[in-house]
Amino acid sequence: MLFNSLAFCVFLPLVFCLYWSFARSFRLQNLLLLVASYVFYGWWNWRFLFLIAGCSLVNFLSGRFIYASKNHVVRRTWLVVCCIVSLGALVVFKYFDFFTTSFAALLACAGMRCSPIVLNLALPVGISFFTFQALSYTIDIAFGKLRPTKDWVEFFTFISFFPQLVAGPIERASNLLPQFQRERRFDFDKATRGICLISFGLFKKMVVADTLSQYVDKVWGDPLFYSSVTCIIGAIFFAFQIYCDFSGYSDVARGVAKLFGFELMLNFDSPYLSKSFSEFWRRWHISLSSWFKDYVYIPLGGNRVPFKKMLRNIWIVFLLSGLWHGASWAFVAWGALHAAYLTMGVVKDRLCGVNKPTSIIARISSVALVNVGIVFAWIFFRSGTIDKAAGFLTALFRCRFETSLMALCAGVGPVQFGFCIIAALLFVSSVFCPRDCGFKTPQSRYLFTVACVMAIVFLGMPSGGEFIYFRF
């Protein structure tokens, strides 16, 4: 079920009304949310409900067993078993074919032929998100940072909470689980803030991202047919598209959660205004980058180890991050590029010292340089395969500069290209929207919500597709 679908427009008000009719019992509210979340997830494919239920059960029981045991070896054994089972499902569904075909290609390079075993399994929506969310709970218990819950309904609802189930943010149990363990009272002010966030998220998705996707899809469909300038515009438009698409989902998720009395973590904080690549990763997909920092980077030693090992840790984290996004060498290359960017930044700081830009020109230059690197890396992300990325880069660097209007339109037509320009300008203007739609007065929130709805009605794409991060 998509946030930008008619089914969700019926589903959300129905669940909202039933939920607050049970206001005297938060346990009944939790049970209703669990049922609603499974209906929401099963809307794509009911068979995958067994997968999310199994992942929830394994981590729920593992957390209980780990906490009950006083033996260090037994605790670690349960943790390892839980990780193997949880990540095993992720590997089978998402990476098995990639690993087998890559191994067969490696053998072919060595002169040995073999036919890879390919399962061709459908990828369950959101499997990477709920797997990481469940594992963070068990790992925190194993390292004494969290006590397990005894209520399986609370835990299963925490894993499957429908606003953020499919594409995050990846919540921590320490933040979200306690909210299921206490009474919630309807807060009108919080609800209006939620509606404001929902409208802003749908605006970013349906008006900006879906409009720009018309142009981006054309350019990536056959990049060698277009000029270098058109490819540059396509790459920039994709940077706008993926931000508005993903941050739009996060805004809707946080807004819907507010309607039910919950607070989800901020997942984006104006990342394209970053003055360094490390700052970018503190602002982009915050829930994932903090997950890798806490559960991979710091356990490896973080920045408390010798310099070479610190660089090794950076590369491990970003190669894994690239692989998390997709079973393709193009995503690994995307992660490697960001690892290289951060490595260059760390080396520069080590050799020259940490010099933050002070003048306006220096800050603008730093932001521009960071965004050039980010947009270049997005080429591999959007291409999906190394071959397609190579084709796009060939078109980009062959220095074919056709600047006529029809050439720049990339086959979408002058009118649609004009709408893309408007969408890009709307994206730029949205950067100056108060963080978290934090308008000071209800009246300003009402006006902003009305403006977003009007923009969706008059400028939005009526046949918008699913969110990009549903693929991961």
Q: For 201-241, what is each residue's pLDDT tens digit?
A: 999 998 889 888 888 988 898 888 888 888 898 999 999 99
- Rounded mean pLDDT of 281-294? 93
Contact between 375 and 236 under an 8 Å Cβ cutoff? The reply is: yes
User: How many residues are recorded in the chain?
Assistant: 472
Which of 54-58, 103-107, 175-179, 208-212 has the least mean pLDDT? 103-107
Question: Residue 242's closest CA among 126, 98, 395, 383?
Answer: 383
Amino acid 39: pLDDT: 94
Amino acid 33: pLDDT: 95
Comparing 468 with 264, the larger pLDDT belongs to: 264
- Rounded mean pLDDT of 47-54? 92
Amino acid 401: pLDDT: 67
Question: Residue 168's closest CA among 138, 205, 140, 130?
Answer: 130
Is 325 catalytic? The answer is yes
pTM of the model: 0.91
Amino acid (1-letter code) at residue 52? I
Amino acid 448: pLDDT: 84
Q: From the candidates 72, 285, 325, 338, give the one annotated as an active-site residue.
A: 325
Per-residue pLDDT reduced to its tens digit, 373-409? 999 999 999 998 999 999 999 988 887 666 666 667 7
| 139-149: burial string, b at 16+ Cβ within 10 Å, e else | bbbbeeebebb
State how far the Cα of 302 lies from the Cα of 424, in Å rounded to an integer: 38
Q: How many of the other CB atoms lie within 10 Å of CB of 1?
A: 17
Statement: residue 355 has pLDDT above 80: no
Question: Residue 472's closest CA among 191, 197, 167?
Answer: 167
